């Protein structure tokens, strides 16, 4: 072992000044001449971008930043001269350094700043022959390990990004990987087959690796390429930290639990309630969006395949209200400190205000410099919910605080930190300490389910008699205002031997021609899965809109006046005229198909004038336009397009 002392210079200045924290000679080890001088050489060590302890990068200074530059120089020279000893390489750097400070070797700079090209030339001048660059036919570089923030069901699931740095096309790789949880690593080997041309990259999905719950290091190594040992073993192994939890993936499946008929349609269903949205993809992490919704139909070809369900959910976090403890108002720049274990969005929060007016709310993370500010409108006093829509990445010590504006309500006492959403976030304290709870109550947070996408296998069965599933009515309306709540369905599928109906409200039927009664307004997706004589299934869907339609009631009432709506369909405006005998005050309203008013006004109607009704802010869909005048109702359905 040879030891070399390295000084720290500031490479940001052209004169390379020595840093104040760089140690100086003479050496406490004693000796004479050069042995007494310290350091031997110097290297850049001020404001060096370096990896940080808990992830990410930061600027660091010190001889601990200078010494790695010398170590890297040694490795470069060792690659060129693999047969030289460490002492010979260190001497080359020592004798070829660029002199700084007083002429000659001194106790501040040593021999000066290292110069790798000069050291290479020094070794050539000493008569050493460099080794020619080697071309490895099967050199595979492991560039990156991607792991989700949380790994569910006590298993690590990773993806590897590899580069074919060799000269031959790669058709197979052997990769060993393990979770380092103490003791001897239990490596499992994965054999991958595919095609990676020279210079190309490839993402490889690794099989799940069982592990106990906890935070561990995960290691992967590509040790064989095309059945031969990797020619360069220093660039094909990486480690990363994985967080493993017991929680399970969301449940999803194929309707009927049967193989789907070749050429038919697979009905994919989320079997988890209370989800905000559901999306279906062809890849576990990236890929193409195939469909959206808790129940979707996908066409089936000749081969079995796998789809992946991603779901978004909402939860509440923090104190529900300001009840309990002491209540105060303050405009100080304080807030709440929290950790994020998984990416999420703060959609809304509850606040308490004594005055109206805008507030500035900031989300920041001091460790990585992230900062986002929202101008929040407070249109009324008292308790109210305001929108933030602030996206939060994984990290510790996030702060959500009041940056400016008038006072908001806070509490002293009445809470117990931490306030958590398991595996997502933990509110640890106020910026003032544990006694306070500042400003932001009853958080509404939204996130993709932290276990990631659920894999759903879709088995396909070859058949000579593909099912052509159909039922009647495919789309229908039930108007509760008529006194009936039932919809009658008939299967029209030739060759069906069994049926599974789902009426979209949590009820099912196995009858071929069922009748179903709905109790609540809404739009319901009705599905039918049929099994044919070959034992495979296929599905179809329709929609039932259940409403209490004022238009329907209006048409049943005495229709004294004719009503005209133009244009219909409409995008921004509709014009309404009613054939009245003279001017009248009328109650005019628009309702959605669930009977909920979305626009309402008292208008002066006249037989010779049309009135404008704005619809530009409404979502596309079907609406009811109703006029109540002279004790009667008249109405028409209106289509809004986008």
Q: What DSSP line would sit under 41-85, residue for residue?
A: EEEE-SSEEEE-TTSSEEEE-SHHHHHHHHHHHHHHHHHHSTTS-
Strands 41-44 and 6-9: parallel
DSSP bridge pairs for 144? 161
- Taking residues 188-195, report their average pLDDT: 96
Mind giving me the DSSP string for 213-242? SEEEEEEEEEEEETTEE-S-TTSSEEEEEE
Same domain, 569 and 615: yes
**Higher pLDDT among residues 515 and 544, named by residue:** 515
CATH number of the domain within which 86 lies: 3.40.50.200
If asked whether residues 542 and 567 sit together in one domain, one would say no
The pLDDT score that the predictor gives to residue 550 is 54
pLDDT, tens digit (0-9, with 9 covering 90-100), for 523-536 = 788 999 999 999 99
**Predicted local confidence at residue 55, as pLDDT:** 66
CA 139 from chain center: how many Å?
33
If asked whether residues 171 and 239 sit together in one domain, one would say: yes
* pLDDT tens figures, 498-512: 999 999 888 999 999
Tell me the three state secondary structure of residue 517: strand
Q: Of the candidates 57, 91, 62, which has an alpha carbon nearest to the alpha carbon of residue 74?
A: 91
| Domain assignment present for 30 | yes
201 or 366, which is more confident?
201
The DSSP secondary structure of 563-610, one letter per residue, reads EEEESSSBSSEEEEEE--SS-EEEEEEEEETTS-EEEEEEEEEBTTB-
Cα separation of 125 and 134, whole Å?
A: 23
pLDDT band at 557 (very low <50, low <70, confident <90, very high): very low
In this structure, are 171 and 193 located in the same domain? Answer: yes
pLDDT at 494 over 90: yes
Which pairing describes strands 209-210 and 188-196: parallel, antiparallel, or unpaired? Answer: unpaired
> Does residue 322 lie in a domain region?
no
Percent of the chain's residues with pLDDT above 70: 97
Contact 203, 194 (CB under 8 A): no
State how far the Cα of 49 lies from the Cα of 52, in Å rounded to an integer. 9
pLDDT at 559 > cutoff 70:
no
User: Burial level of 536, CB count in 10 A (0-12/13-18/19+)?
Assistant: buried
d(CA 477, CA 147): 48
Residues in the chain: 642
- Confirm if 26 and 80 have CB atoms less than 8 A apart: no
Output the pLDDT for position 57: 79
* pLDDT of amino acid 460: 95
- Would you say residue 392 lies in a domain? no
**Is the same domain home to 111 and 154?**
no
pLDDT at 554 over 60: no
- Tens of pLDDT along 32-89? 888 889 999 999 999 998 887 766 778 899 999 999 999 999 999 999 999 999 999 9
**Residue 14 neighbours by CB under 8 Å, 6+ apart:** none
Residues 188 and 215 in one domain: yes
Residue 434 region, left (φ>0) first, then alpha (ψ -120 to 50), else beta?
alpha
Listed in sequence order, the residues at least 6 apart from 91 whose beta carbon sits closer than 8 Å to its beta carbon are none
**Quick check: is 153 in a domain?**
yes
CA atoms within 13 A on the CB side of 295: 22
In a domain, 174, yes or no: yes
Other C-beta atoms closer than 10 Å to the C-beta of 388 total: 19
* Among 208, 221, 118, 111, CA closest to 175: 221
Mean pLDDT to the nearest integer, 484-511: 93
Q: If you average pLDDT over every residue of the chain, what do you get?
A: 91
pLDDT for residue 561? 75
What's the CA gap between 622 and 551, in Å, rounded?
12
Q: What are phi and psi of 342, to 5 degrees?
A: -155, 145
Domain termination site, one of 125, 157, 182: 125
Beta bridge mates, 589: 600, 626
Domain of 578, CATH number, reads 2.60.40.1930
State the Rg of the chain over Cα. Answer: 36
* Chosen domain end from 482, 515, 548: 548
Residues 521 and 603 in one domain: no
**437/628: higher pLDDT:** 437
Average the pLDDT over each of 46-55, 267-276, 413-422 and give the range with the smallest value: 46-55
> Strand (E) positions, 406-462?
408-412, 419-421, 425-430, 436-438, 441-448, 454-458, 460-461
The alpha carbon dihedral of 438, 439, 444, 447 has a sign of negative
What angle (nearest 5°) sits at the alpha carbon of residue 92, between those of residues 89 and 94?
110
Note whether 264 and 534 are within 8 A (CB): no
Across the range 270-285, mean pLDDT stands at 91
pLDDT at 555 > cutoff 50: no
Helix (H) or strand (E) holding 92: helix 86-95
pLDDT at 582: 87
Cite the beta strand spans of 519-572 per DSSP E. Answer: 522-532, 537-547, 563-566
Same domain, 597 and 557: yes
Residue 277 inside a domain? The answer is no
Q: How far is CA 481 from CA 543, 555, 559, in A?
A: 19, 12, 17
- The confidence score (pLDDT) of residue 549 equals 61
Does residue 105 carry a pLDDT above 60? Answer: yes
Tell whether the model's pLDDT for residue 551 goes beyond 60.
no
Q: What is the pLDDT of residue 594?
A: 62
Identify whether 263 is part of a domain: no
Percent of the chain with pLDDT over 90: 68
pLDDT digits (tens, 9 = 90+) for 238-261: 999 999 999 999 999 999 888 999
Spatial separation of the C-alpha atoms in residues 477 and 520, rounded to whole Å = 13
Return d(Cα 446, Cα 315) in angstroms, integer: 7
**Quick check: 291 pLDDT over 50?**
yes
Provide, for the chain, the percentages of residues in helix, strand and coil under a 3-state DSSP scheme, each rounded to the nearest 5.
10, 50, 45
In Å, the largest CA–CA distance within the chain is 119
Q: What is the CATH number of the domain that holds 544?
A: 2.60.40.10
Domain count, the chain: 4
Contact 340, 398 (CB under 8 A): yes
Q: Does 560 lie in the same domain as 542?
A: no
What value, to the nearest 5°, has the Cα angle with vertex 36 and ends 83 and 46?
Answer: 75
- The per-residue pLDDT for range 91-103, each reduced to its tens digit, is 999 999 999 999 9
Q: Which is more confidently placed, 606 or 522? A: 606
Region 555-560 average pLDDT: 47
pTM above 0.75, yes or no: no
Same domain assignment for residues 600 and 535: no
Query: Do both 501 and 556 map to the same domain?
Result: no
Residue 295 included in any domain: no
- Digit-coded pLDDT (tens) for 327-384: 999 999 999 999 999 999 999 999 999 999 999 999 999 877 889 999 999 999 999 9
8 A C-beta contact, residue 201 and residue 142: no
Instruction: Give the span between the Cα atoms of 578 and 610, in whole angstroms.
Output: 8
- Residue 473 and residue 580 share a domain: no
Is 481 a residue whose pLDDT tops 80?
Answer: no
Among the candidates 125, 154, 178, a domain finishes at 125
Print the domain residue range for 570. Answer: 551-640
3 state SS for 143-200 = EEEECCCCECCCEECCEEEEEECCCCCEEEEEEEEEEECCCCCCCEEEEEEEEECCCC
């Amino acid at each position: 072992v040879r030891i070399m002392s390295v000084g720290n210079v500031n490479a940001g200045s052209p004169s390379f000044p020595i840093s104040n924290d760089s140690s100086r000679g003479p050496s406490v080890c004693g000796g004479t001449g050069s042995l007494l001088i310290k350091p031997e050489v110097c290297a850049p060590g001020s404001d060096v971008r370096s990896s940080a302890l808990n992830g990410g990068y930061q600027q660091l200074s010190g001889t601990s930043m200078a010494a790695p530059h010398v170590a890297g120089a040694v490795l470069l020279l060792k690659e060129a001269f693999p047969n030289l000893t460490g002492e010979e390489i260190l001497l080359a750097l020592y004798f070829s350094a660029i002199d700084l400070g007083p002429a000659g070797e001194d106790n501040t700079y040593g021999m000066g700043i290292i110069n790798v090209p000069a050291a290479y030339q020094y070794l050539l001048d000493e008569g050493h022959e460099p080794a020619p660059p080697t071309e490895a036919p099967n050199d595979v570089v492991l560039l990156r390990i991607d792991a989700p923030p949380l790994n569910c069901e006590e298993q690590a699931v990773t993806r590897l990004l590899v580069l074919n740095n060799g000269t031959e096309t790669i058709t197979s790789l052997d990769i060993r990987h393990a979770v380092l949880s103490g003791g001897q690593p239990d490596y499992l080997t994965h054999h991958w087959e595919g095609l990676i041309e020279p210079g190309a990259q490839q993402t490889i999905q690794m099989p799940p690796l069982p592990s106990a719950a906890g935070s561990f290091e995960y290691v992967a190594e590509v040790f064989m390429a095309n059945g031969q040992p990797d020619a360069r073993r220093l660039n094909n192994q990486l480690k990363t930290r994985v967080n493993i939890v017991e929680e399970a993936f969301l449940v999803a499946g194929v309707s009927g639990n049967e193989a789907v008929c070749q050429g038919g349609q697979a009905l994919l269903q989320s079997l988890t309630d209370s989800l905000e949205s559901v999306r279906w993809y062809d890849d576990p992490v990236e890929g193409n969006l195939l469909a959206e919704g808790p129940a979707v139909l996908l066409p089936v070809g000749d081969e079995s395949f796998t789809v992946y369900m991603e779901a978004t959910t909402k939860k509440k976090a923090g104190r529900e209200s300001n009840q309990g403890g002491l209540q105060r108002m303050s405009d100080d720049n304080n807030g709440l400190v929290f950790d994020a274990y998984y990416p999420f969005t703060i959609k809304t929060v509850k606040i308490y205000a004594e005055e109206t007016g805008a507030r500035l709310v900031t989300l920041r993370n001091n460790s990585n410099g992230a900062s986002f500010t929202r101008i929040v409108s407070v249109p009324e006093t008292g308790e109210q919910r305001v929108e933030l829509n602030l996206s939060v990445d994984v990290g510790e010590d996030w702060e959500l605080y009041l940056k400016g504006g008038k006072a908001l309500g806070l509490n002293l006492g009445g809470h117990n930190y931490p306030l958590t959403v398991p595996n997502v976030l933990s509110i640890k304290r106020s910026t003032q300490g544990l006694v306070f709870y500042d400003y932001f109550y009853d958080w509404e947070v939204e996130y993709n389910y932290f276990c990631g996408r659920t894999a759903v296998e879709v088995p396909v069965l070859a058949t000579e008699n593909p099912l052509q599933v159909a039922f009647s009515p495919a789309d229908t309306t039930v108007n509760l205002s008529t006194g009936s709540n039932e919809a009658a369905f008939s299967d029209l599928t030739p060759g069906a031997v069994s049926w599974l109906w789902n009426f979209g409200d949590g009820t099912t039927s196995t009858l071929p021609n069922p009748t179903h009664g709905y109790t609540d307004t809404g739009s319901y997706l009705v599905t039918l899965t049929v099994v044919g004589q070959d034992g495979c299934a296929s599905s179809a869907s329709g929609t039932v809109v259940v409403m209490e339609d004022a238009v329907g009631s209006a048409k049943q009432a005495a229709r004294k006046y004719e009503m005209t709506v133009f244009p219909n369909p409409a995008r921004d405006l509709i014009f309404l005229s009613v054939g009245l005998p003279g001017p009248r005050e009328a109650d005019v309203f628009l309702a959605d198909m669930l009977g909920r008013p979305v626009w309402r006004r008292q208008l002066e109607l006249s037989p010779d004038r049309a009135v404008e009704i704005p619809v530009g802010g409404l979502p596309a869909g079907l609406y009811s336009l109703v006029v109540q005048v002279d004790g009667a109702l008249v109405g028409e359905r209106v289509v809004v397009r986008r």
